[in-house]
């Protein structure tokens, strides 16, 4: 079996780091190399990483200045020796059996650029379940999605590949040009889209990782701070237009989805809607009336539903059919898994407290 390297950037996540490392090292097929790249932490992160490195020969610590998560990932990739790579996050968790499953699928389909599953979302502050991603699956049974199929699927949805739920072929990363630091928090999303279009991917419709959502994360700030949201919209769509890997129509479609995503997140976070919605979602008096006038009058629950429905009709970001079917299949899969002995697909009760409490 080919070797697997994990690159784990960390900045002041001492609270979460032990649980993330424990979950990685406890895999039935453990990684051959775990590279912790500390981005200038001021908490106990370095001491924790050094302790793990002293106890586990596969763990290595690299120290860097406070340059950001993407430069840390790039540095880790430069040190990675594995034929396969997992880009981890210090505040997230992998579920039991993830690496064994992913590597077996990639060895079975060597032309694929990556393996990906689904992710279970939790509120990083409360530990409460917050849904599953992707919301619309590229297929409803395990299997390969070739490059041509991936391009066709882009019209209906994207964002099927969550980096934290993916194993990547090192060769495919290089073919896609690696991580572009200038793209910030979108660098990994951009790269995995290119991998899908260049080589295709294997999708497993079951949860393989836990993603803790934090309101102050870089990706959330990019979507909910008006200036950053506009800057992201402009820079990301411009880069997509410049890249011949993407269809010529994709930049416009991605822009609509970006506006929808920023507006949707704004509806979820108290206080941000008044600033972000006018910039990202209001294009007419009718938009203004529904989002800024009617929504507050109807109250958080009903008003939020009305606003979200309006945003969906306005931007049509994702195939509603695929959202509904994906949700139905996810529920059926969860029920079957809960009744059986398989680790993947079940609620990770042994990991939930760590995800919430660190």
Domain interval for residue 233: 218-315
Assess if residue 122 is contained within a domain: yes
**What confidence score (pLDDT) does residue 274 get?**
66
What's 40's domain CATH number?
A: 3.90.550.10
- What distance in Å separates the CA atoms of residue 91 and residue 354, rounded to the nearest whole number? 10
Q: How far, in Å, CA of 33 to CA of 146, rounded?
A: 29
**Angle of helix 273-280 versus helix 250-268 axis, rounded to 10:** 160
Number of H helices, E strands in the chain: 16, 10
Q: Which residues pair with 122 in a beta bridge?
A: 129, 212
pLDDT of residue 342: 44
DSSP-assigned beta bridge partners for residue 34 = 6, 59
Task: Write down the pTM of the prediction.
Answer: 0.88
CA distance to 29, 50, 58, 249, 328, per residue, from 81 (Å): 17, 20, 12, 37, 40
Cβ proximity of 109 and 201 under 8 Å: no
- Regions in the chain scoring below 50 on pLDDT: 340-358
Residues 160, 192: Cα–Cα separation, whole Å: 10
pLDDT tens digits along 108-139: 999 999 999 999 999 877 888 888 999 999 99
pLDDT in the model for residue 250: 97
Matching residue, tokens 């809960």: 338
Same domain, yes or no: 28 and 84? yes
- Is there a contact between 282 and 291 (Cβ–Cβ < 8 Å)? yes
Asked whether residue 268 is domain-assigned, the answer is yes
From the number of C-beta atoms within 10 Å of its C-beta (0-12, 13-18, 19+), residue 331 rates as exposed
**Residue 335 within a domain:** no
Give the per-residue pLDDT at 173: 97
pLDDT of residue 281: 86
Give the number of C-alpha atoms closer than 13 A to the C-alpha of residue 190, restricted to the C-beta side. Answer: 24
What DSSP string describes 21-67? HHHHHTSSS--SEEEEEE-S-SSSHHHHHHHHHHH-TTEEEEE--S-
Domain boundary among 188, 214, 240: 214
Together in a domain, 139 and 34: yes
- The reply to whether 238 and 193 lie within a common domain is no
Residue corresponding to tokens 């039935």: 28
38 and 184 in a single domain? The answer is: yes
Yes or no: say if 97 and 119 are a contact pair by the CB < 8 Å rule.
no
Nearest to 154 by CA among 86, 115, 200: 200
Q: How many other β-carbons are positioned within 10 Å of the β-carbon of residue 168?
A: 28
Three-state DSSP state, 178: coil
Residue 154: per-residue pLDDT: 94
3-class SS at 284? coil
Residues 191, 76 share a domain: yes
Q: What is the pLDDT of residue 355?
A: 38
Q: How many domains does the chain have?
A: 2
- Identify whether residues 40 and 170 lie together within a single domain: yes
* Cis check: omega of the bond before 185, within 30 degrees of 0: no
């Amino acid at each position: 079996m080919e070797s697997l390297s994990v690159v784990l950037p960390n900045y002041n996540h001492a609270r979460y780091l032990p649980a993330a490392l424990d979950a990685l090292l406890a895999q039935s097929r453990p990684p051959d190399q775990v590279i912790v790249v500390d981005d200038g932490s001021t908490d106990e992160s370095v001491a924790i990483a050094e302790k793990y490195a002293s106890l586990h020969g596969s763990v290595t610590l690299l120290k860097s200045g406070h340059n950001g998560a993407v430069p840390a990932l790039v540095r880790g990739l430069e040190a990675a020796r594995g034929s396969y790579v997992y880009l981890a996050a210090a505040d997230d968790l992998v579920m039991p059996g993830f690496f064994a499953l992913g590597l077996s699928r990639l060895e079975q389909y060597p032309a694929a650029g990556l393996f990906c599953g689904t992710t279970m979302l939790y509120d990083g502050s409360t530990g409460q379940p917050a849904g599953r991603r992707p919301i619309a699956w590229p297929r409803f049974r395990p299997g390969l999605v070739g490059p041509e199929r991936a391009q066709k699927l882009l019209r209906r949805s994207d964002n099927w590949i969550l980096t934290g739920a993916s194993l990547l072929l090192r060769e495919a990363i290089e073919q896609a040009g690696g991580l572009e630091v200038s793209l910030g928090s979108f660098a990994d999303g951009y790269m995995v889209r290119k991998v899908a279009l260049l080589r295709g991917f294997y999708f497993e419709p079951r949860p393989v990782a836990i993603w803790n959502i934090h309101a102050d994360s870089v990706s959330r700030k990019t979507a909910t701070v008006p200036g950053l949201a506009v800057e992201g919209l402009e820079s990301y769509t411009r880069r997509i237009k410049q890249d011949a890997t993407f269809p010529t129509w994709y930049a416009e479609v991605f822009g609509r989805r970006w506006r929808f995503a920023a507006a949707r997140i704004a509806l979820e976070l108290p206080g941000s809607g008044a600033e972000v919605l006018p910039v990202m979602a209001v294009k007419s008096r009718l938009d203004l009336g529904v989002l800024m006038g009617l929504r507050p009058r109807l109250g958080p629950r009903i008003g939020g539903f009305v606003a979200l429905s309006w945003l969906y009709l306005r931007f049509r970001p994702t195939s509603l059919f695929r959202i509904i079917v994906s949700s139905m299949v996810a529920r059926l899969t969860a029920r079957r898994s809960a009744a059986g002995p398989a680790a993947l697909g079940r609620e990770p009760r042994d990991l939930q407290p760590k995800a919430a409490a660190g």
